[in-house]
A and B are shown apart, each in its own frame.
Chain A
């Protein structure tokens, strides 16, 4: 099995994309584990899939639309919406400054 290698920078970049703060130790650990897993999953290349269509779902599905003007039975009251929020002010969620 050919071993796939990732750089430390790639791991840090992935963590940033995923919104995770990793310690140096975690970066090192996930680098090794990701390399190992990715090397394994490359066994799919043993199968010829050139003419195969990718699956999008396993049962025949059709779109379901919400009709205009239809009542949303599961709409929450404001108190239910805010009940689990850790940081709120009046009827707003408080978040960190982005800009």
Chain B
């Protein structure tokens, strides 16, 4: 009865009293017990679910399960950011994202695995073991929100929260065959999110349906007095605007197809034909090569990492700096270098200038088109172990995600078919103007209604029966 249901459907079932909150909670606990040891999606399962304590308090309140990436501070629930530095850290406060979810009737089912400190695109830098791709256990689930994406695609959670700095929601969603929404920078509060790149970080939902993504975004979005970078713009009713049959002008560019696997390009072509059939306009555009975004991103993010991780001294909480893993140390070193005397202008300031060029480039293009369609990743999920061979392979894998992140745009990944060669999901993305999540959600919903994402999401879940 619950199997494969979206969070909105579960919500309706509970409201109609066809199923109780406890039945839903127990159902997911049972699935986690059955499958998590294979996939390693969760690092921590909330004890209050196991003991049933959540059902005893506030009995009339609806309690919906949600998985949360382990870099969101959750009051009283261990939060590690997948690093041994924080292996026994119990936050004394709740992040704004989880607080808003709890206030809306959610209860945190568990905390999901990720690359340590969100440094990576495969969850392999986690100090607690990699997350396996539910489609093929020898493959990476992607990262850094790999645990959240894998939990949703194997239905160990009906919905999950991830965070993205440049690709960390979209890329694991693409590789695991689910929907991942990266909102505009400043749309969702970063308060209580363990900081990676503060000028880039953005929380967002990973879901089975477009409606669920709209539903969760509405809850977590909006100005927050604890995060001065959140904007005061009104939060629209995203679910309401899904139903409009809008027609869009959609930009496509060859720059985003260079080096992209042929099967992914084929999926891209199939979708373009469909969009034309639905009455949308496709327009060729020209954008700066994403290869510059790799450099801008590497410099800015490493600089912000070295600054953000300087607080981990083991005095007030956590372990000392000898507990940092190899990837964190490498990033701190490069960040320290690009910010140091004599190099600041050559690297950091130069990168911030090119960042301006990238933003201006998008602004120009968005005068002609409403959104941009591109593949999310150049290849389908890689084998575990591929990443450690290169010092910034993750950045290369996220090349199609970095430009939008650097500019702070909103973007959404959705699955569109399976590659014949390896039977793994293909992800495509829509990048929208600043604060126009409504539009990219609207078009994703139209694609879902028309194609059901070529059956990918349902097929993924069917690999993990009750």
Contact = CB atoms under 8 A, between A and B. Distances in A.
Interface of A: 11, 14-15, 17-22, 26, 30, 33-34, 36-38, 40-47, 49, 52-61, 63-64, 74, 76, 80-81, 83-87, 93, 95
Given A40-B295, A49-B353, A59-B186, A26 B317 contact: no
Contacts of B349: 54
Contacts of A80: 92
Interface stretch (B10-18, B100-108, B223-231, B277-285): B223-231
B357 A84 contact: no
Contacts of B185: 58-59
Contacts of B88: 84
A49 B354 contact: yes
Contact of A37 (B354, B391, B408): B391
Given A49-B357, A58-B407, A19 B313 contact: yes
Given A33-B330, A36-B391, A58-B408, A20 B226 contact: no
The listed residue with most B CB atoms (<10 A of its CB), out of A22, A47, A60, A85, is: A47
A24 to B, nearest CB: 14
A92 B359 CA distance: 47
Contacts, number: 139
A18 B333 contact: yes
B50 interface: no
A55 B359 contact: yes
Contact of B337 (A38, A52, A58, A63): A38
Interface stretch (B208-216, B321-329, B373-381): B321-329
B334 interface: yes
B221 interface: no
B318 interface: yes
Closest 7 CB pairs of A and B: A58-B408, A84-B317, A54-B352, A49-B353, A80-B92, A41-B295, A33-B391
Nearest to A30: B333
Nearest to B335: A18
Given A44-B350, A87-B315, 14 more contacts: A14-B337, A18-B310, A18-B332, A40-B294, A40-B295, A40-B298, A43-B291, A53-B353, A54-B353, A56-B352, A58-B199, A59-B408, A74-B226, A93-B315
A22 B296 contact: no
Interface of B: 88-90, 92-93, 184-186, 199, 225-226, 228-229, 231, 291-292, 294-296, 298-299, 306, 310, 313-319, 321-322, 324, 326, 329-330, 332-334, 336-337, 340, 347, 349-357, 359, 391-392, 407-408, 434
B391 A53 contact: no
Main secondary structure of the interface of A (DSSP, over half): loop
B295 A43 contact: yes
A42 to B, nearest CB: 8
Given A55-B352, A55-B356, A20 B332 contact: yes
Contacts of B334: 34, 37-38
A44 B351 contact: yes
A36 B353 CA distance: 22
A26 B317 CA distance: 26
B319 A37 contact: no
A46 B330 CA distance: 26
Contacts of B199: 57-58
Contacts of B93: 74, 76
A54 B355 contact: yes
Which of the listed residues B314, B326, B330, B354 has the most CB atoms from chain A within 10 Å of its own CB? B354
Contacts of B336: 14, 17-18
Contacts of A81: 92, 316
B228 A54 contact: no
A11 to B, nearest CB: 7
Contacts of B315: 85, 87, 93, 95
Contact of B333 (A34, A52, A74): A34
15 contacts: A14-B340, A18-B310, A19-B313, A30-B329, A34-B334, A44-B295, A44-B350, A49-B356, A53-B356, A55-B356, A59-B184, A59-B185, A60-B231, A63-B228, A83-B90
Contacts of A52: 353-354, 356-357
A44 B298 contact: no
Nearest to B91: A84
Contacts of B340: 14, 17
Nearest to A16: B336
Contacts of A22: 329
Contacts of A41: 294-295, 298-299, 347, 351
B292 A57 contact: no
A35 to B, nearest CB: 10
A88 B330 CA distance: 31
Identify the interface centre among A18, A22, A36: most chain B CB within 10 Å of its CB: A18
A10 B124 CA distance: 29
